[in-house]
Amino acid sequence: MAQRRPLAERRIVILAEGSFGVLESKTAAGYLRYHPHSCVAVLDSTKAGRDVGDVLGYAHGIPIVATLEEALPFNPDVLLIGIAPPGGQLPDSWRPLIRQAIQNKMDIVSGLHFFFSRDAEFAPLAQAHGVDLWDVRQPPPDLPVATCRAATVKARTILTVGSDARVGKKITALEIAAEARRRGINAQFIATGQTGIMISGYGICVDAVVADFIAGAAECLVVDNADHFDWLVLEGQGSIIHPGYSGVTLGLLHGAMPDALILCHQAQLQHIKRYPQPIPPLRELVRLYEHIAQPVKPTRVVGISLNCFHLSDAEAQEEIRQAEEATGLPATDVVKFGAGKLVEAIQETVDR
Amino acid sequence: MAQRRPLAERRIVILAEGSFGVLESKTAAGYLRYHPHSCVAVLDSTKAGRDVGDVLGYAHGIPIVATLEEALPFNPDVLLIGIAPPGGQLPDSWRPLIRQAIQNKMDIVSGLHFFFSRDAEFAPLAQAHGVDLWDVRQPPPDLPVATCRAATVKARTILTVGSDARVGKKITALEIAAEARRRGINAQFIATGQTGIMISGYGICVDAVVADFIAGAAECLVVDNADHFDWLVLEGQGSIIHPGYSGVTLGLLHGAMPDALILCHQAQLQHIKRYPQPIPPLRELVRLYEHIAQPVKPTRVVGISLNCFHLSDAEAQEEIRQAEEATGLPATDVVKFGAGKLVEAIQETVDR
């Protein structure tokens, strides 16, 4: 991966046209949660004039604008694509805006499956204006088929897994790593998806590699970092029961060979989002993850991360109590109440 | 996919240098089992002078030669890459041979992850000599994320799954489809891997698509063919317990949403080939496949396909008896004893 100036040090306009929000623009909302100071404006004409903080509940003081022109006085040098059209392709209607950004010497940072750096229009235009097209999802070359090298590392590996996509696996991994560091553990978040890579500056999008190499990519992430940290906290992807993405989830689980799992769930979510499949009770999901991990490397779910963003603190506490009762495992909402409980559960498991 | 003359009507030299054999050169052996009449020679200097039939036990009367020159008098028009180097890349030592084949106006047919049609040397050389570089693993463009469309088709779908890679999932699917047709059922084999595509002329290599689209590719294979056949018999890939390939296996299972599974196993195999993991007892594997399928679409393993290539008929019968006793399911070796038992088990399930 090419060495780049960290995004946190740049002046970024985030594109979220038509769908800026906590759930609707996952990349925009995720990036703004961790690096709000690097964002000069969000682009969404349907919410123009409002403040980012009023929409998200965090990252206050950043304006939402209707056009790129309105953002130019803030001297932006990056356009970050903060929304993902279905399938990850580029809508033709975005092309004029991308062109305009490049002509204004802004680098493009994108997590789409569509690669800007291979586009017949944008590649030469970027070269002419001296800007960088960073396709975050572009896999490194020459990934191997996994060979269980992750089983031999000294570092302890933790993987967040989920009941569905978009329930908080990335935030849970980030918060566990941060809380562990606060407690003196040499822990590192390891990104496996585009937003995690934008936030941390490092990782592989395991959903964008050729399918034979999913586990191999996960194995590389573990092996390449294991000598530098005591805990590797890997961001999970999708869900083992997701009709579209389960293959990525399982390849990541079998390739990373984690010592412990944290199961992430959105409180009260009944069905896979946009699919008819119901989500089974949490204790059944725990059993399913442990069952499918077992033949490659036995591991246990040691805690529940319950995303209660839509609930009051009191309601969240009640949901957490019910989850603990149902599973017999410690549970928390890492945003509302911190990741301490989960760090302790992991310590008990990996320090034995 | 471009329209091409069927390989079965061509004059093929199969490259299997250094490793021609039933297990060692899976693509060569698989292709020769179904279309021996289209092969004029096999290239393996370490077995030159012998007959293909003496090595494989079938496809008699085809010479093994040491060099491409020796095969040229047979007027070949295709070089088929019959072996897969680890990782699917092209060894540099093969380049002179490929060049020579192209210069002799032979098309190249390859199932490697390496794409001949994108190679800076071979692409222009092929164009200059008017030959076709068929990269069988190249995925079709614009695959979708799966959306459970396979659940709505009228055709019945059967998927072969395995205890390991290379245990007979492709042959089992081919033999079930053939036996079903003999019994008057409008059944079609659907290839999901390179050798299956070479044999049948159609399919998608699900292990070569971008990881997010594994299930989507499987779904397309089902939906695109469901109106033309009563049974779709899909070739499985890898194994749900394979440390390298399980992601592909699960994406295929969840995307195809099969009505019935056939579990394929190589008799007496104790460990995943080239990995330390033991293979669990068959009844546990049955339970694992059914457990992981259930949240997306419940399905059942209805029969066992036991690969006994290395055993006498009497030994094979004893292994089959033990497998039936252990699982309570009908079992057979489809090569030694035919696929009738499995076709009957599928009929009982899908006709209910």
Contact between chains at A210 and B206 (C-beta distance less than 8 A): no
A7 to chain B, closest Cα gap in Å: 26
Q: Taking all residues of chain B, what is their mean pLDDT, rounded to a whole number? A: 96
Q: Which domains does chain A have, with CATH numbers?
A: 7-135 (3.40.50.720), 149-350 (3.40.50.300)
Q: Does position A280 have pLDDT exceeding 60, yes or no?
A: yes
By Cβ distance, the residue of B240, B241, B245 closest to A212 is B245
Of B33, B14, B135, B134, nearest in space to B83 by CA:
B14
Strands of the A133-135 sheet, one edge to the other: A64-65, A39-43, A12-15, A78-81, A107-110, A133-135
By Cβ distance, the residue of B147, B148, B214 closest to A247 is B214
- Which residues have C-beta within 8 Å of that of residue A78, sequence separation ≥ 6? A7, A10, A11, A12, A13, A106, A107, A108, A109
Contact between chains at A288 and B288 (C-beta distance less than 8 A): no
**Bridge partners for A191 per DSSP:** A203
Rounded-to-integer distance, Cα A136 and Cα A111, Å? 5
Rounded-to-integer distance, Cα B113 and Cα B232, Å? 26
**pLDDT per position as a tens digit, B229-284:** 999 999 999 999 999 999 999 999 999 999 999 999 999 999 999 999 999 999 99
What per-residue confidence (pLDDT) applies to A88? 81
What per-residue confidence (pLDDT) applies to B218? 98
Mean pLDDT of B66-84: 97
Residues of chain A with Cβ-Cβ distance to B164 below 8 Å are: none
Judge whether A194 and A27 are in contact, CB under 8 Å. Answer: yes
**Site of tokens 């199961």:** A263
Take residue B273 and report the two structure tokens written for it.
């080939």
Percent of chain A with pLDDT over 70: 99
Rounded-to-integer distance, Cα A47 and Cα A41, Å? 12
Instruction: Specify the amino acid at residue B308.
Output: C
**pLDDT per position as a tens digit, B119-159:** 999 999 999 999 999 999 999 998 999 999 999 999 999 99
- Full DSSP string of B83-114: ---GGGPPPGGGHHHHHHHHHTT-EEEE-SSS
Contact between chains at A243 and B148 (C-beta distance less than 8 A): yes
What per-residue confidence (pLDDT) applies to B1? 42
Rounded-to-integer distance, Cα B61 and Cα B59, Å? 7
Residues of chain A with Cβ-Cβ distance to B277 below 8 Å are: 148, 295-296
The end-to-end CA distance of chain B, in Å, is 36
What per-residue confidence (pLDDT) applies to A1? 42
B260: enclosing H helix or E strand: strand B260-266
Contact between chains at B247 and A247 (C-beta distance less than 8 A): yes
CA distance readout (Å), A268 to A18, A281, A322, A330, B10: 27, 11, 11, 18, 60
Contact between chains at B251 and A247 (C-beta distance less than 8 A): yes
Please report which confidence band the pLDDT of residue B89 belongs to, taking 50, 70 and 90 as the band edges: confident
**Strands B156-162 and B107-110, bridge-based pairing:** unpaired
What per-residue confidence (pLDDT) applies to A84? 87
What per-residue confidence (pLDDT) applies to A87? 73
3-state secondary structure of A332: strand
3-state secondary structure of B60: coil
Please report which confidence band the pLDDT of residue A132 belongs to, taking 50, 70 and 90 as the band edges: very high
What per-residue confidence (pLDDT) applies to B352? 66
Percent of chain B with pLDDT over 70: 99
How long, in residues, is chain A?
352
Take residue B257 and report the two structure tokens written for it.
């949403």
Mean pLDDT of B68-90: 92
**pLDDT per position as a tens digit, A152-164:** 999 999 999 999 9
| Chain A residue whose CA is closest to B244 | A146
Buried b / exposed e along A231-261 (16+ C-beta atoms within 10 A): bbbbbbbbbbbbbbbbbbbbbbbbbbbbbbb
**pLDDT per position as a tens digit, B269-328:** 999 999 999 999 999 999 999 999 999 999 999 999 999 999 999 999 999 999 999 999
CA angle at residue A95 from A68 to A120, to 5 degrees?
135
Residues of chain A with Cβ-Cβ distance to B209 below 8 Å are: 210-211
Rounded-to-integer distance, Cα A94 and Cα A352, Å? 53
What per-residue confidence (pLDDT) applies to B146? 97
Q: Does position B222 have pLDDT exceeding 50, yes or no?
A: yes
Residues of chain B with Cβ-Cβ distance to A296 below 8 Å are: 241, 243, 246, 277
**pLDDT per position as a tens digit, A7-26:** 999 999 999 999 999 988 99
Higher pLDDT, A87 or B161: B161
> Could you count the other beta carbons within 10 Å of the beta carbon of residue A168?
24
A window 202-241, beta carbon within 8 A of B = 206-212, 214-216, 240-241
- Full DSSP string of A159-224: EEEESSSSSSHHHHHHHHHHHHHHTT--EEEEB-SHHHHHHHS-B--GGGSBGGGHHHHHHHHHHH
- Which residues have C-beta within 8 Å of that of residue A197, sequence separation ≥ 6? A111, A136, A191, A203, A204, A205
- Full DSSP string of A62-77: -BEESSHHHHGGG---
> Could you count the other beta carbons within 10 Å of the beta carbon of residue B22?
17
Contact between chains at B277 and A295 (C-beta distance less than 8 A): yes
Q: Does position A86 have pLDDT exceeding 80, yes or no?
A: no
SS3 content of chain B, % helix, strand, coil (to 5): 45, 15, 40
pTM of the model: 0.96
Q: Give a three-class secondary structure readout of B177-238.
A: HHHHHHCCCCEEEEECCHHHHHHHCCECCHHHCEHHHHHHHHHHHHHHHCCCCCEEEECCCC
Q: Does position B348 have pLDDT exceeding 50, yes or no?
A: yes
Using the Cβ of A254 and the Cβ atoms of chain B, whether some distance falls under 8 Å is answered with: yes
Contact between chains at B243 and A292 (C-beta distance less than 8 A): no
Phi-psi region of A79 (alpha: psi -120 to 50; beta: other; left: phi over 0): beta
What per-residue confidence (pLDDT) applies to A23? 85
- Which residues have C-beta within 8 Å of that of residue B175, sequence separation ≥ 6? B334, B335, B338, B339
**Site of tokens 């990036």:** A31
**pLDDT per position as a tens digit, A24-73:** 899 999 999 999 999 999 999 999 999 999 999 999 999 999 999 999 99
Residues of chain A with Cβ-Cβ distance to B89 below 8 Å are: 142
Higher pLDDT, A352 or B109: B109
Q: Does position B2 have pLDDT exceeding 70, yes or no?
A: no
What per-residue confidence (pLDDT) applies to B101? 98
Please report which confidence band the pLDDT of residue B43 belongs to, taking 50, 70 and 90 as the band edges: very high
Judge whether A134 and A108 are in contact, CB under 8 Å. Answer: yes
Contact between chains at B86 and A145 (C-beta distance less than 8 A): yes
